[in-house]
Amino acid sequence: MEDDLGGGVGTPDGWDRLWAPHRTAYLEGENRPLPGNDVPCPFCRIPMQGDDEGLIVARGELAYVVLNLYPYNAGHLLICTYRHIADLTDLSTQERNEVFELTAHSMKVLRKVSRAQGFNLGMNQGSISGAGIAEHIHQHVVPRWSGDANFMPVIGKTKVLPQLLQDTRSLLAESWNLV
Ligand SMILES: [Zn+2]
């Protein structure tokens, strides 16, 4: 999926990957909640699990930080509200503030732990936008390094080993209060 900017304003920096429907699903196939099935929302379920099991990096008052099971890059985080709300405009001011505070703190931690050189931040709003789980808002925080786009399309199709995700979670969680 190549960008054709048609003379518009913008830079073809790989942002399209973040918005591609087949890449944004937190869970896929039968585990994914869709209209018409009764699969529970994973973003509601995750906070009830332990941090290790749920891959939770940090818990805030109104929102929490979790590793994406299907990362674009190592350390790809999602900031989710505890409340099952789909749309940014329906969040309270306090929730919006906390989502962005957790986003900023995630950037600091990823810079410290993995020397991230840049980030893609964003939310898909509505299933037509490519949101894998449109019913529950989640902010993507994707760390970027020079040259990562060269191998991301290759490794991006492979699910990361659970052990690697656990190690990454521990590393980020231990560093969370140190930055
Ligand atoms: Zn939910």
pLDDT tens, position by position, 79-131: 999 999 999 999 999 999 999 999 999 999 999 999 999 999 999 898 888 78
The residue count for the chain: 179
**CB neighbours (10 Å) of residue 154?**
8
For ligand 1, the distance from its centroid to the CA atom of residue 6, given in whole angstroms, is: 38
Using the predicted structure, report yes or no on whether residue 179 has a pLDDT greater than 80: yes
Using the predicted structure, report yes or no on whether residue 21 has a pLDDT greater than 60: no
Residue 160: the pLDDT is 54
For ligand 1, the distance from its centroid to the CA atom of residue 10, given in whole angstroms, is: 33
For 132, the 3-state DSSP assignment is coil
For ligand 1, the distance from its centroid to the CA atom of residue 97, given in whole angstroms, is: 19
133: pLDDT confidence band, cut at 50, 70 and 90?
A: confident
Distance CA 12, CA 33 (A): 32
Using the predicted structure, report yes or no on whether residue 25 has a pLDDT greater than 50: no
Residue 2: the pLDDT is 43
For ligand 1, the distance from its centroid to the CA atom of residue 147, given in whole angstroms, is: 35
**CB neighbours (10 Å) of residue 82?**
18
In the chain, pLDDT over 70 holds for what percent of residues? 72
| DSSP label of 35 | T
149: pLDDT confidence band, cut at 50, 70 and 90?
A: low
Distance CA 176, CA 95 (A): 20
Distance CA 78, CA 66 (A): 5
Q: For residues 47 and 59, is the Cβ–Cβ distance under 8 A?
A: yes
**CB neighbours (10 Å) of residue 97?**
13
Residue 32: the pLDDT is 63
Output the average pLDDT for the chain. 80
Catalytic residue numbers, as ranges: 138
User: E strands within the chain?
Assistant: 56-59, 63-67, 77-81, 118-122, 138-144
Task: Tell me which residue of 150, 153, 173 sits closest to 67, measured CA to CA.
Answer: 173
Calculate mean pLDDT across residues 41-66: 95
Taking CA atoms, 118 is separated from 63, 79, 103, 175, in Å, by 23, 17, 13, 19
The model's pTM = 0.78
For ligand 1, the distance from its centroid to the CA atom of residue 7, given in whole angstroms, is: 39
- CA-based max dimension of the chain: 49
C-alpha dihedral, 72 to 73 to 78 to 79, nearest 10°: -130
For ligand 1, the distance from its centroid to the CA atom of residue 32, given in whole angstroms, is: 12
Residue ranges near ligand 1 (ion) with Cβ within 5 Å: 41, 43-44, 84, 136
For ligand 1, the distance from its centroid to the CA atom of residue 45, given in whole angstroms, is: 7
